Amino acid sequence: MSLIHPRIPLGITLRRILSGASFVGCADIRVQHATHNSLDCSSQAMFAALRGREFDGHHFIRDAIQHGATSVLVEYPQSDVPVPQCVVRNTRQAFARICSALNGDPSRELSIVGVTGTNGKTTTTWLVRSILQTAGIQTGLLGTIEYNDGIRAEPSTLTTPDSMMLTEWLSSMVSHGTTHAAIEMSSHALDQCRCAGTLIDAAVMTNITHDHLDYHLDYDAYRASKLHIFESLKPGGVAVLNADDPGSISCLAHAPGQVITFGIHNSADVSATILQQSSRGTTFVLTAGVERIEVRTSMIGEHNVSNCLAAAAAMLHAGIALPDIAAGIEALTDVPGRLERIDCGQPFNIFVDYAHTDDALQRAIAAAKTLTAGRLFCVFGAGGDRDRSKRPLLGCAGASADVAVVTSDNPRSESPTQIIDEIVAGMPIAAQPHIEADRAEAIRWALSQAGPQDTVLVAGKGHESEQIIGSQRLHFDDREVIGRIVTAGLKGPHDIPATNLIGPHKNIGQIA
């Protein structure tokens, strides 16, 4: 979707919603439709010239006018342009506000929890939705796995939709009677001002660790992008920060108003004491002030207890009672691809997890180890054309498994073997990883080696159903691959899509 069709039939005037804007060729501009795609302009449409890393929309202004644009949104005045111009400091920020205004500013009619952080965004938003739905409240969700307006759902394309799609989904929520929403706000989205037109009631910061440095260049810039979430807080909104995470709690000074902290190890407003962990779930005591309640969740791992606390803190601010929060946590049986248990009758544990940062991988391995009396096999890789600096860090984290199986993730245009070499470079010599570039074969090898009391953790892709090799998108779902291999008897023939576009890689380690 690239053209906003407004809930406000007569459109909006830009001078009213864009403070500080100047105008060329007019005193004001009335907008009925807006787009950032020069090919999608039509009569009465405004073209927004958005600046990106690879393309600058200002270079497509004349093309947009030829396709019907009757006004343009720009960052500097354009010469020889025969249509009115609105000049702003940041076209991305202004466009997000225009998109929201054209749809009647739907976020003002919703109670929204925005969640950012390196890890835990998806699980936290799913927990928020489960708590609200269990309390009888119709709730929407926008995130890595799906977009859901409370009635209909679609697979997501980005963790956070662009500002046009975001406002369309929020508008759809309002139209369908949805009153609450949980939204993942990625660092890319915050940096690109996709959420600038969206107001939220709670800003949750799960953690800030190492990721996306190919985009943000360094940790400080990455952290700074996360801080933009506070700009979306409504008056009276709350910042929810992780007392156990240095990156999250360091944002305390930047929070504009009320703050609620959560944590397991450090003093916090909302805390937990873990009582028991097993392959079937975790039991912990949830404490908020003088209130305490025992919670049994099917999720495993200390990091998931932390996610439960983040959701609980946001929901306490929303006025949900602690017993209802506990019931909502318990009602969420699993989140696709987040330490998702695969049970095909095999005599050992199998989990699939989305962990693709060193911190997330370390936490997933730690969680799996608490359930493993035997050996822990971890199958993982790293994405191509993405942050190369985290590859040796992933290797170091993966080496904490008893048997590390290094393979391909989404190599994209890079050499799979080169990516693997960069992962292995971060491993201690004693790790002796098993290396298999073909992901299906790597999974099959790990499953064939596992025995009773062992655990196989397949990490990196989680809920994803494709593998990107070169320019091809091949159907590949770790969960399906595991199911077919186990059903076929591990070592027998199996109906697995070939990924032999990836060449062989010599193993440097063998299982003891």
Binding-site annotation: residue ranges: 38, 117-123, 159-160, 186, 192, 194, 386, 409-412, 460, 464
Cα(331)–Cα(130) distance, integer angstroms = 7
Cα(366)–Cα(303) distance, integer angstroms = 10
Number of residues that this document lists for the chain: 512
Identify the CA nearest to 162 among candidates 237, 100, 72.
100
Q: Quote the tokens at residue 255.
A: 């929070």
SS3 253: helix
CA–CA–CA angle 130, 135, 141 (5° rounding): 35
SS3 73: strand
Q: Are 317 and 180 in contact (CB under 8 A)?
A: no
Longest dimension (CA), the chain: 77
Neighbours of 87 (CB within 10 A): 19
Cα(305)–Cα(93) distance, integer angstroms = 35
Known binding positions for ATP: 117-123
Q: Quote the tokens at residue 185.
A: 């706000």
Cα(458)–Cα(238) distance, integer angstroms = 36
Could you give the C-alpha distances from 7 to 16, 28, 70, 92, 104, in angstroms and in order? 17, 21, 20, 21, 6
Query: 20: phi > 0 → left, psi -120 to 50 → alpha, else beta; which?
Result: left
